[in-house]
């Protein structure tokens, strides 16, 4: 009875994806009938899972199970690893997040606010921008589609420059950030969704600025940080229970709604983490 | 009586540059008449230096003083900081260096060989390629000007991919490296000389690969690591005295030869660290 979610990168949309499921039968000593798990499952109602390395038993059921496809699953770990591990953030730093209303971005922004950073996000619609400011508590947010000059936009929001950039889009946004870095700027490259469907990726022209700014770009994958999952839960579960973190899910009902939900990610239709509910836990 | 050298980045070619000088008079408690110093001096016979933060007293005079414009000065510290501090190299790793016959590249390659890495360098002439292989002991070297397809060239020399790239050139070489990274590849961005004189910098198209490869690019400046100078000398002085490191200098005689020597850097005329001798120590 999996509650499933669309994957961050649509490499094999009809195969693997991140989901929540209930064990119906198991030949693995770590999993038994009735266990709830999250991890790599399938776009299907019933799955035979052999890759148990990417499967985690759900220990805390006093939060919505769907959260394990998001804030307590891979997107949460991605936000945590990218922000805390890759960027080593400090209180008071200037943080910029692109695709900030997405599953990962909204969490990074809230982590940064809880740490005492100044946080600005970009998104692709007025509704998303409003949500960033009013629901997630970002200091500022802007609609990148309304900014002809991204460099000028960033200079407006970061007159003193950017310490941390959480990169979800790539291309010309990255180029503009490279013009607005403070010394020792850290860029966590999580995704570059603006580039995925281009035949030729856009050129990034301002990498040379990494040198005088002594800045760095680091790509990362959340599974590399799976050993940090317990620390992550220790940080995030209290935030959720105390209402200090808001998490938005965009729920599509039924497996048959999956393809449209997936395509919607690329046109910016979804608001928050896109889920596809295949079945609910009874 | 400074022995001076052309700067790595020609930001202010007629002002600051790295040099060696003898103190003729001093109002600073740390420097007295007769001291030999290296650091930021000027393109001139006599300098009035007030920026003593960038000036180091020379303690070891049993090596050629000109070395303090190179292997024991800023280029040496640049190679040391970029390789050891930015890249955290390990024995057996696959290391690629562009502009490898230059002041910094030749040292990085030798540091990497002394550590037990597999080392390949690129350069822009047959002479330089020969020097890399026969004088500096690189495992392989190639002339990038003879390679129509840099990606194919790197695949030939690194069939298993690159662990560490010491970046001196930028542009299409960087793009080719991004296609040939091993997991957790580290790129130390030291310079991007192919780009300095372009009105519009070339676009780099393959940054997205940083994500699946969990790789990073870090820009750095040697002065950030000045506190490591004593450790650096401890490593390098024995190598020099035992003949384990070879260092090539390209000496232009007389201050009047400076402009041509500087221009030569951009056409690849020099072999090894370009020096301009203004005067010799007597």
Across B159-180, average pLDDT: 96
A212 and A261 belong to one structural domain: no
List the CATH number of the domain containing A7. Answer: 3.90.180.10
Does residue B43 sit in the same domain as residue B79?
A: no
Q: Report yes or no on A41 lying in a domain.
A: yes
Q: Is residue B103 predicted with pLDDT exceeding 70?
A: yes
Total structural domains within chain A? 2
Q: Please state, in angstroms and rounded to a whole number, the distance separating the CA atoms of residues A265 and A168.
A: 13
ipTM of the complex: 0.85
* Cβ-based contacts of B206 with chain A (< 8 Å): 201
Residues B57 and B102 grouped into a single domain: no
Considering the domain architecture, whether residues B20 and B53 belong to the same structural domain is answered as yes
Query: For the segment B55-99, what is each residue's pLDDT rounded down to a tens digit?
Result: 899 999 999 999 999 899 989 999 999 999 999 999 999 999 999
CB contact under 8 A, A174 and B207: yes
Please report whether residue B23 resides in a domain: yes
The phi and psi torsions of A163 (rounded to 5 degrees) equal -90, -40
Same structural domain, B112 and B188: yes
Q: Identify the pLDDT of residue B13.
A: 43
Clarify whether residues A9 and A91 are in a common domain: no
> What residues of B are in contact with residue A206 (Cβ under 8 Å)?
201
**A contact test, residue of B189, B202, B212, B224 with most A CBs within 10 A:** B189
Q: Distance between CA atoms of A107 and A110, rounded to whole angstroms?
A: 5
Which percentage of chain A shows pLDDT scores above 90?
A: 69
In a domain, A135, yes or no: yes
CA of A58, closest CA in chain B: separation in Å? 27
Q: Which residue has the tokens 């890249």?
A: B87
- Decide if B219 and A213 are in contact by the 8 Å CB cutoff: yes
Query: Who among A195, A216, A219 is closest to B214 (CB)?
Result: A219
pTM for the full predicted model:
0.86
Residues on A contacting B at a C-beta cutoff of 8 Å: 170, 174, 189-192, 195, 200-221, 224
- End-of-domain residue from the set B205, B222, B239: B222
Chain B residues inside the 8 Å CB shell of A217:
207, 210, 216-217
Strand pairing class (A249-253; B216-219): unpaired
Residues of A with CB below 8 A from B207's CB? 170, 174, 189, 192, 201, 204, 217
Q: How far is CA B29 from CA B26, B52, B53, B56, in A?
A: 8, 11, 13, 13
Q: What residues of A are in contact with residue B82 (Cβ under 8 Å)?
A: none
Q: What does the DSSP assignment read for B151-194?
A: HHHHHHH-TT-EEEEEESS-HHHHHHHHTSEEEEEEEEE---TT
Claim to verify: residue B84 and residue B152 sit in the same structural domain? yes
Average pLDDT of chain A, as a whole number: 90
For residue A176, give the CATH number of its domain. 3.40.50.720
Q: Identify whether B124 is part of a domain.
A: yes
Q: Is residue B228 in some structural domain? A: no
Could you tell me which residues come within 8 angstroms of residue A56 by beta carbon, excluding any fewer than 6 positions away?
Answer: A37, A38, A39, A229
Q: Which of A12-21, B126-135, B185-194 has the lowest mean pLDDT?
A: A12-21
* Judgement on whether residues A189 and A124 belong to the same structural domain of the protein: yes
Residue A270 lies in a domain: yes
Same domain membership, residue A104 and residue A178? yes
CA distance A219 to A95: 17
Q: In this structure, are A80 and A170 located in the same domain?
A: yes
Burial profile B183-213: b = 16 or more Cβ within 10 angstroms, e = fewer: eebbbbbbbbbbbeeeeebbbbbbbbbbbeb
Q: Is residue A113 part of a domain?
A: yes
User: What would the mean pLDDT of B3-13 be, rounded to a whole number?
Assistant: 45
**Given pLDDT bands bounded at 50, 70 and 90, which one contains residue A24?**
very high
* Chain center to CA of A208: 28
Residues of A in contact with B204 (CB under 8 A): 203-205, 207
Quote the domain boundaries for residue A266.
3-63+249-277
Residues A116 and A213 in one domain: yes
Per-residue confidence (pLDDT) for residue A2, from 0 to 100: 46
- Search chain B and give the residue with CA nearest A216: B218
- Let me know whether B217 and B129 are in one domain: yes
Spatial CB neighbours of B119, under 8 Å, sequence gap ≥ 6: B95, B96, B97, B109, B112, B113, B138, B139, B140
Residue A69 lies in a domain: no
- B194 pLDDT more than 80: no
């Amino acid at each position: 009875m999996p509650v499933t979610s669309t994957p961050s990168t649509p490499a094999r949309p009809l195969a693997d994806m991140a989901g929540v499921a209930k064990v119906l039968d198991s030949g693995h000593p770590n999993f038994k009938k009735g266990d709830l798990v999250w991890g790599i499952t399938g776009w299907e109602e019933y799955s035979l899972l052999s890759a148990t390395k990417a499967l985690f038993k759900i220990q805390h059921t006093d939060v919505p199970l769907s959260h394990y496809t998001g804030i307590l699953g891979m997107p949460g770990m991605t936000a945590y690893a990218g922000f805390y591990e890759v960027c080593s953030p400090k209180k008071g730093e200037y943080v910029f997040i692109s695709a900030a209303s997405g599953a990962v971005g909204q969490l990074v922004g809230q982590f940064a606010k809880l740490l005492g950073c100044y946080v600005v996000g970009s998104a692709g619609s007025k509704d998303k921008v409003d949500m960033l400011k009013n629901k997630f508590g970002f200091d500022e947010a802007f609609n990148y589609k309304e900014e002809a000059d991204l460099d000028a936009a960033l200079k407006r929001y970061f007159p003193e420059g950017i310490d941390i950039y959480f990169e979800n889009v790539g291309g010309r946004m990255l180029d503009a950030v490279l013009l607005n870095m403070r010394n020792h700027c850290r860029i966590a490259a999580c995704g570059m969704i603006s580039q995925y469907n281009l035949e030729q990726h856009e050129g990034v022209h301002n990498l040379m600025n990494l040198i005088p700014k002594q800045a760095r770009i680091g790509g990362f994958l959340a599974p590399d940080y799976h050993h940090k999952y317990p620390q992550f839960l220790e940080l995030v579960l209290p935030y959720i229970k105390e209402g200090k973190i808001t998490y938005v899910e965009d729920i599509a009902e039924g497996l048959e709604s999956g393809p449209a939900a997936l395509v919607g990610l690329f046109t910016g239709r979804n608001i928050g983490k896109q889920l596809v509910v295949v079945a609910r836990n009874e």
